[in-house]
Structure 1
Amino acid sequence: MKARALAVLGTGSDVGKSVIAAGLCRLFVRAGVRVAPFKAQNMSNNSFVTRDGKEIGRAQALQAQACGLDPHVNMNPILLKPESDRCSQMVVQGRVWGKSEARNYFEQKAELAERVRESYERLAERYDVIVIEGAGSAAEMNLRDRDLANWSMVELADARVVLVADIDRGGVFAQVIGTLDLLTSEERGRVIGVIINKFRGDMTLFDDGLRFLEARTGLPVLGVVPMLRDLVIDQEDSVDVERTSQAPFDSAHVNVAVVLLPRMSNFTDFKHLAAEDDVRLRYAADPRDLTGADVVIIPGSKNTIEDLWALRRAGFMEELRRHVASGRELIGICGGFQMLGREIADPDGVESRGVVDGLGLLDVSTRMLSAKVTQLVEAKALHIDAGTASAIRGYYIHMGDTQRGIVLPCFRVYPVGTPPDPLDRLWTDPLDGAVSHDGLIWGTYIHGVFDQPGFRRAWLNRIRCRNGWEAARLETSTCVTQRLDDELDRWAIMLRVTSI
């Protein structure tokens, strides 16, 4: 029997579709239902590598976790990774298809729709319920005939729809009523109710609003979900950054500044780190935001060369040199690692053309490659004495080969699963990253490097020792990891008690 489908559509972007869908997935699991998530098309630079080395949106990986499933490419068959305001890298069923501008992308709708159908039907054959997440607004009139993620998907799955609106941004009545008024009668007939998300304050003050909405739309308000600022689960690209961008530094914490790149990718690399009780983490959009940082991290980027130029134009180069000269730590992850080196060569025009100077802070050089490496890995730290806690688990998503000069590597890498290419350099040279002779500047291609509590605590304790503080116990970091694992249950309970 084909799975039943429930679609979570929104009145706009960032209204909370991803986390509502994740919470519903967990509620279905708790009720004993075999459930899986699905999003036909996602646009995000925050991606995840599956066990078989394919790439999907991070939101669908979170939803798979809520279902108790391993993330799979069929859960998100199309992933668009923006490289500029007009151009995105296309990842179709887990593999890079190439680059596309919006107009060219829409010209491929028929072929892409077939890939979406294939992936959805594979899931629908295996599960009882599919929770579908829409994209952007459910009423994008200029894109209606080219839609893959909203109503075309609803029709394919014969889904019922819940409409999510964000009351925190204001105008919730216009959001809901305006969206519903723009739907066809058939589309509106599929909507079973409305969820009001991100409510703050006394909910009884919204009673009149609920009655108005229900009377005006003829639909029930299924729940009013409160704003949970301390909810620590993966969000879409901007949300977590906004929440921590202005976190104040102080002398009682390990202060971590993450440089806010224009095309920053995989900001979830820092979610476990930010949750540590002895850490203050903020995103630095201005060089002055680095003041007081014990550690500066340059994160991954979807367009390393353009983001490197952006750093120079913003004046970060001088501040980073001052930071390093003062004996404090500087880290680069993936694209950030490439930026730390002497140069980045791009002879094939993967991102640009020619050769650009790096920051010159690590003796490495990078050549951009057209082939993307996506691989789960396990690794052992070589640059930090973490004892038995030196093992980490993470993943690669990069399109470059970085050669070390007279510097040592950071990690010995052990691929997880079968590599797409047995001759991949990862197997013939299983050393990753580079570290300066004083150990204060290091870089790695491994995303998720701070996710494991053992390595994370050993690294933080090294900074604490440098600051003249006592080391904290490993249990403090282990508790953080467990707390993050418990957040989905907490979120699902919140949805339940708010009457969904």
Structure 2
Amino acid sequence: MAKVIMVQGTMSNAGKSLLAGGLCRVFRQDGFRVAPFKSQNMALNSFVTKEGLEMGRAQVMQAECADIEPSVYMNPILLKPTNDIGSQVIVNGEVLRDMPAREYFRYKTRLIPDIRKAFQKLAAENDIIVIEGAGSPAEINLKENDIVNMGLANMVDAPVILVGDIDRGGVFAQLYGTVMLLPPQEQQRIKGMVINKFRGDVTLLDSGIQMLEEKTGIPVIGTVPYCPLNIDDEDSLSTRFEGTAPSLVNIGVIRLPRISNFTDISPFEMVPGVGIRYITRPEELAGLDMVILPGTKNTIGDLRWLWETELAETVQRMAARVPVFGICGGYQMLGRMVSDPDSVEEGGSLKGLGLLPGETVLKRQKNRRQVRGRLSLRTGILGMPEDTEYRGYEIHMGETRNEGGEALTCRADGEVNGLQQGNVYGTYVHGIFDTGNVAEQICRTLAAKKGVVLPENSGESFRQRREKEYDRLADLVRESLDMERIYGMLREAAWRDE
């Protein structure tokens, strides 16, 4: 019978995803078959499995930590916000429909059989399941019929580790308040508390920890120091949006209101001497060496925002002298027109930036597939002599018709899924920069044009460097948490299929 343990947080971005990933890595290193699980995930960063099913990126990261293939069973429910009051509801990797928040709140208990089925599948194949909660278990306005925090912990009889974020202040109030807002039977599920993202002398916490333990009766099982790691984040609270200081090469990412799959930018963050800035105003584009338009959950709405903020005109002018690269929704925006005849998003049509000779028509059918093929950077500043084999995935609602552009990416079946013209490049392929050392090659090309030299790198691929980051995360967990206590929690907890 699979052992279970659950990581919950006092708030979003407390560090649940990374700590769950770190535990997956530790357990895998210790010889166990381990899998992550999150019953319901709200995020715009998603992934497509080899079966063509959609799941949250955080559980993909955790699966990579566990050294196993990502599976939709690890995240049976994915909510992708489409506006401020509703989301696209994805169940078992496929779109159910768009729902306003209140409708989903009433509907969600119907999904308990899907949650149970997914969990049973993982439990049958693994020794340990590391479960991640969502937000906070003390969101008392949402606790009724909870399926992702204590409701799930009760369902699978999981001991809980509660994580608080000291970097955002008030960690003792976070932890104490969360515990006190829970009914006694749920308080008893919390077997340990963790203080996350601490900077400074850890002994300064001693008196606070002692009082917290006395008041709650729950031990603090570790203090995790603040440690920058280049590992994919889950949601829009990501600190990476703060950007980096000016560097030898500077890349600007347009921070669209409904930005999605910003994890596509991660490979650039691992190149020494390269800075990333997230852009919301035209004046912030000054001095950049490349501009990226990332994915979005609302292409027409975010394209309208580009025109309203005058970012669209600024990017149009910049394309004469710097590369502009669009991915998925960003690729659609770079064309001449985006049309929505079936009201998939907002309906109507809107002119694109006109930097690529393509027109997009949004359709209700979502394209989801892993893809491999050929990347050909032939034109403009980024022109490279050799084609590169790539692997990635597509998630998009719509088709882009090529009206005379040169292929940037082709699938293995020969179908063009990306265009280039001059300094402008666009593709439907997420993960395109994960390929080999493509990101580093691009950055060195930009550096050479600028007359600067980037520091030498190790020669490792992005994926090799990412594996090292996972090992660093595991080391951090081992050094910071009382693993003996955690293994004790596991020994006392075994999920039983009812």
TM-score scaled to structure 1, two decimals? 0.92
Contact persistence 1:386–1:455 (CA under 8 A): no
Q: Does 1:307 align with 2:302?
A: yes
Q: Does 1:462 align with 2:445?
A: yes
- Which amino acid is 1:408 matched to? E
Q: Does 1:433 align with 2:392?
A: no
- Which amino acid is 1:205 matched to? L
- Count, aligned residues: 478
Deviation at 1:109, TM superposition (A): 2.3
Contact persistence 2:272–2:454 (CA under 8 A): no
- Which amino acid is 1:456 matched to? A
Matching residue within 335, 343, 350 for 2:344: 350
Tell me how far apart the structure 1 counterparts of residues 159 and 62 of structure 2 sit (CA, whole Å).
19
The residue correspondences of 1:193-342 to structure 2 (distance < 5 A) are 193-228=192-227, 230-240=228-238, 242-243=239-240, 245-250=242-247, 253-325=248-320, 327-342=321-336
Aligned to 1:421: none
Contact persistence 1:276–1:477 (CA under 8 A): no
Are the structure 2 counterparts of residues 111 and 244 from structure 1 closer, same or farther at C-alpha, using a change threshold of 3 Å?
closer
SS of the residue aligned with 2:305? helix
Aligned to 2:473: 491
Deviation at 1:406, TM superposition (A): 1.8
Contact persistence 2:81–2:88 (CA under 8 A): yes
The residue correspondences of 1:16-415 to structure 2 (distance < 5 A) are 16-228=15-227, 230-240=228-238, 242-243=239-240, 245-250=242-247, 253-325=248-320, 327-384=321-378, 386=384, 390-414=388-412
Tell me how far apart the structure 1 counterparts of residues 148 and 263 of structure 2 sit (CA, whole Å).
24
Deviation at 1:52, TM superposition (A): 1.2
Are the structure 2 counterparts of residues 495 and 276 from structure 1 closer, same or farther at C-alpha, using a change threshold of 3 Å?
same
Between the two structures, name the one with larger relative contact order (CA 8 Å, sep ≥ 6). 2
Contact persistence 1:409–1:431 (CA under 8 A): yes
Judge which range, 380-389 or 153-162, deviates more. 380-389
Contact persistence 2:194–2:224 (CA under 8 A): yes
Aligned to 1:418: none
The C-alpha deviation readout for 1:431-473, integer Å capped at 9, x for no partner, is 121111x3x0111101111112333333333323433456987
- Which amino acid is 2:418 matched to? G
Aligned to 2:433: 450
Tell me how far apart the structure 2 counterparts of residues 125 and 17 of structure 1 sit (CA, whole Å).
24
SS of the residue aligned with 1:42? strand
Contact persistence 1:386–1:454 (CA under 8 A): no
- Which amino acid is 1:33 matched to? F
Deviation at 1:407, TM superposition (A): 1.2
SS of the residue aligned with 1:106? helix
Tell me how far apart the structure 2 counterparts of residues 12 and 113 of structure 1 sit (CA, whole Å).
24
The residue correspondences of 1:7-18 to structure 2 (distance < 5 A) are 7-18=6-17
SS of the residue aligned with 2:218? coil
Identity level (%):
43
Tell me how far apart the structure 2 counterparts of residues 448 and 460 of structure 1 sit (CA, whole Å).
16
CA-atom RMSD in angstroms:
1.8
The C-alpha deviation readout for 1:283-308, integer Å capped at 9, x for no partner, is 11211111101111111000011111
The C-alpha deviation readout for 1:115-146, integer Å capped at 9, x for no partner, is 11111111111112111100111111111113
Tell me how far apart the structure 2 counterparts of residues 148 and 333 of structure 1 sit (CA, whole Å).
34
Deviation at 1:479, TM superposition (A): 5.5
Tell me how far apart the structure 1 counterparts of residues 60 and 425 of structure 2 sit (CA, whole Å).
29
- Which amino acid is 1:460 matched to? C
- Which amino acid is 2:416 matched to? L
TM-score scaled to structure 2, two decimals? 0.92
SS of the residue aligned with 1:141? coil
Are the structure 2 counterparts of residues 452 and 125 from structure 1 closer, same or farther at C-alpha, using a change threshold of 3 Å?
same
- Which amino acid is 1:434 matched to? L
Judge which range, 211-220 or 460-469, deviates more. 460-469
SS of the residue aligned with 1:375? strand
Tell me how far apart the structure 2 counterparts of residues 367 and 297 of structure 1 sit (CA, whole Å).
22
The C-alpha deviation readout for 1:69-120, integer Å capped at 9, x for no partner, is 1000000000000010111111100011110111111222232111111111
The C-alpha deviation readout for 1:375-416, integer Å capped at 9, x for no partner, is 1111212234656661121110101100111211111212xx
Contact persistence 1:39–1:60 (CA under 8 A): yes
Are the structure 2 counterparts of residues 71 and 487 from structure 1 closer, same or farther at C-alpha, using a change threshold of 3 Å?
same
Tell me how far apart the structure 1 counterparts of residues 33 and 109 of structure 2 sit (CA, whole Å).
30
Aligned to 2:486: none
Tell me how far apart the structure 2 counterparts of residues 484 and 292 of structure 1 sit (CA, whole Å).
29
Contact persistence 1:456–1:477 (CA under 8 A): no
Tell me how far apart the structure 2 counterparts of residues 461 and 93 of structure 1 sit (CA, whole Å).
41
Are the structure 2 counterparts of residues 381 and 479 from structure 1 closer, same or farther at C-alpha, using a change threshold of 3 Å?
closer
Tell me how far apart the structure 1 counterparts of residues 123 and 284 of structure 2 sit (CA, whole Å).
48
